[in-house]
Amino acid sequence: MFVSLLLILTTLIDRNPCIVESSGLQAPGYFLISGVDQDSVGFIDNTGRFIYPLFTGPNVNHRPTPYGGYTYYDGALQAYVTVDNKLRTIDTFSVQAPYQTDFHEGYQTTGRRYFVLGTEVRTVNMSELIQGAPDSAQVIGCVIQEFDRRGRRTFEWKSLDHIPPTEATYEIDLTHNRIDYIHANAIVEDSARNIILSCRNLDQIIKIDRSTGSIIWRLGGSAAHRNDFTFTNDTNDGFVGFSHQHAPVITRKGELLMFDNGNLKSSQVSRVVAYTLNETTLTATKTWEYIHPNPTFSPTMGSVQELPNGNILIGWGTAQNGLVATEVDRSGMIHSEVRTPTPLPYPYRVYKSPIAMTSIVRKISGYEQVDFSNMDSTTRVRVRPTTYSQDHEVSIERHNYAPTHIESREHLPCHVFPQRWVVRYHATQNLYAAQFNLARTMVEDDPSAAMVLYRPQEGVGPFVELPTSLVEASSQIEVSHLAPGEYVLGSRLCKEPSLVYPGNSQDEHALVVPLRWTPAIGADGYEVEISTSPDFTQDVRFFRTQLPDTTIRNLQPQKTYYWHVRVIRQPEVGLWTQTWTFDVMTPLTVSDDGAATDLPIGTNLVVYDVLGNEIARETIVREQQHVVPDLHDKLLVIVATTPGGAVYRKLLAR
Sign of CA dihedral 191, 69, 317, 184: negative
- 576-616 per-position pLDDT tens digit: 999 999 998 766 666 656 666 666 777 888 888 777 788 88
Residue type for position 372:
F
Residues 390, 391, 393, CA angle at the centre, nearest 5°?
A: 125
- 142-166 per-position pLDDT tens digit: 999 999 999 999 999 999 999 999 9
For the chain, percent of residues with pLDDT exceeding 70: 91
Bond from prior residue into 502 cis (ω within 30 degrees of 0): yes
- 108-125 per-position pLDDT tens digit: 999 999 999 999 999 999
Query: Pick from 87, 54, 59, 83: which is nearest to 73 by CA?
Result: 59
- 372-420 per-position pLDDT tens digit: 998 878 999 999 998 887 788 899 999 999 887 787 767 778 778 889 9
Q: What is the mean pLDDT of residues 513-520?
A: 89
Residue type for position 629:
P
- 277-320 per-position pLDDT tens digit: 999 999 999 999 999 999 999 999 999 999 999 999 999 999 98
| Domains of the chain as residue ranges with CATH | 94-355 (2.120.10), 359-491 (2.60.220), 499-584 (2.60.40.10), 589-653 (2.60.40)
The secondary element (H helix, E strand) that includes residue 276 is strand 271-278
SS3 of residue 484 by DSSP: coil
Residue 608: what pLDDT?
82
The answer to whether 488 touches 458, Cβ cutoff 8 Å, is no
SS3 of residue 523 by DSSP: coil
Residue 512: what pLDDT?
82
Q: What is the mean pLDDT of residues 194-222?
A: 97
Burial of residue 254 (number of CB atoms within 10 Å: 0-12, 13-18, 19+): exposed
Query: Pick from 221, 175, 178: which is nearest to 199 by CA?
Result: 221
SS3 of residue 127 by DSSP: helix
Query: Pick from 624, 619, 502, 599: which is nearest to 555 by CA?
Result: 502
CA–CA distance, 541 with 555 (Å, rounded to integer): 11
Diameter of the chain by CA atoms? 131
DSSP-assigned beta bridge partners for residue 637: 608, 651
Among 541-545, 612-616, 649-653, where is mean pLDDT lowest?
A: 649-653
Q: Which of 55-59, 60-64, 639-643, 650-654: highest mean pLDDT? A: 60-64
Residue 395 neighbours by CB under 8 Å, 6+ apart: 25, 28, 359, 360, 361, 422, 423, 424, 425
Is residue 358's pLDDT more than 70?
Answer: yes
Alpha carbon of residue 614 to chain centroid: 64
Q: What is the mean pLDDT of residues 202-212?
A: 97
CA–CA distance, 175 with 135 (Å, rounded to integer): 10
Q: How many residues does the chain have?
A: 654
CA–CA distance, 100 with 120 (Å, rounded to integer): 7
